[in-house]
Amino acid sequence: MVYYVNGGCMKSLGIVRSLDKEGRYSIPKELTRILDIETGDKLRIKLVNGDITIVKVEEMCSFCKSTENLVEIHHKKICKLCLNEF
């Protein structure tokens, strides 16, 4: 399996996972740390040239999880209310 990190830099972690009885794979903890994936985060799964790609969907404020009035700073979405607290 091949992982695409940060939308382009390809990195194989050498981790092998088996499909479980419910048809699921778990994402290695190392990868969730690299991509800052937390419980409840949404992922977009694509099939590209026979490879599965998984991309984190960041459409909510990284701090309060609001989905309104978002701005992007250093590839993170932040709502204007949280931005004003800095």
List residues binding Zn ion (CB under 5 A).
61, 63-64, 66, 79, 82
Nearer to Zn ion, 53 or 66 (CB): 66
CA distance 8 to 33: 17
Please, what is the minimum distance in Å from the beta carbon of residue 86 to Zn ion?
A: 11
Q: How crowded is residue 40: how many other Cβ atoms within 10 Å of its Cβ?
A: 7
Residue 36: both structure tokens together:
């800052």
CA distance 67 to 34: 23
Nearer to Zn ion, 35 or 61 (CB): 61
Please, what is the minimum distance in Å from the beta carbon of residue 83 to Zn ion?
A: 8
Nearer to Zn ion, 13 or 64 (CB): 64
